Amino acid sequence: MTELLFYDDVNLRQCDSRVVAVGDDGIVLDRTVFYPVGGGQPGDSGILRLPDGSEIAIETTRRRKDDGALLHVPATPGNASGLRPRDHVVASVDWQRRYTHMRVHTCLHLLSAVIRAGVTGGAIGEGSGRLDFDLPDVKPDRASVEAQLNALIAEAHPVTPRWITSAELEAQPQLVKTMSVAPPSGVPRVRLLEIAGVDLQACGGTHVKNTAEIGPVIVSKIESKGARNRRVVVALAESAD
């Protein structure tokens, strides 16, 4: 089992690691700062630096389906063939890309607090993201949603993760806002993400520590996606220039 250091320190950008296994599908490390794709958030990219100074570029990070192993996937297939178990590497995440994902992800949690409806889907991209809401009879006003989002961001609410048991989550189903994706079952703990005074929900992704870090955003589009779904697309203001 890989130790996930981003849960202890989301701003940690690199770590010393040991290789656990190397396969055609990727590299498994004993500890990592790389977040694997999940919950609409892309997997991290970056580099693994070897003791001789050479580097292996990592294109993405994901979990293997059969056993859940966290795989660091090289950008060039076969580029990790020289690695062996217990080899030392320094794992360095592409911080600018990750931090952008963190800002967008936290913004989407604010969006789910502004629009109080079931979330049927979502995705995080480079400087923008979207949520789909179960709103068959309502189309939210773009200007109003944008103003409410930016007000919450400017209020500088602390953002804090915490853990509860699976039993506690079952007793509080309102903590799961996504209708299409549920937290893993049968695990001893489930991670919550709290935006103080604004939102509390189950989430395993990475987030900023304060809403002020998000910066100004725009609501670039609100559109219908089928009979019931309304898609709301938001973007960091500097990404939309």
What does pTM read for this prediction? 0.92
Q: Which residue, 4, 13, 9, is CA-closest to 38?
A: 4
What does CATH list as the number for 98-240?
A: 3.30.980.10
User: Regarding the domain delimited by 15-93, which CATH topology (the fold level of the hierarchy) does it fall under?
Assistant: Elongation Factor Tu (Ef-tu); domain 3 (2.40.30)
How many Å apart are CA 134 and CA 170, to the nearest integer?
Answer: 22
pLDDT in tens, 52-86: 999 999 999 999 998 889 999 999 987 787 899 99
45: number of CA atoms within 13 Å, CB side? 12
The pairing of beta strand 3-4 with beta strand 31-32: parallel
> From its phi and psi, is residue 26 left (phi > 0), alpha (psi between -120 and 50) or beta?
left
The ranges assigned to domains in the chain are 15-93, 98-240
Tens-of-pLDDT digits for all 241 residues of the chain? 899 999 999 999 999 999 999 998 999 999 999 999 988 899 999 999 999 999 999 999 999 998 889 999 999 987 787 899 999 999 999 999 999 999 999 999 999 999 998 899 999 998 999 999 999 888 899 999 999 999 999 999 999 998 888 788 778 777 777 756 666 555 678 889 999 999 999 899 999 999 999 999 999 999 998 888 999 999 999 876 6
| Short-list 136, 135, 152, CA closest to 144 | 152
- What is the token pair recorded at 211? 């809403």
Distances (CA, A) of 234 to 56, 59, 65: 34, 25, 31
Same fold, 15-93 and 98-240: no
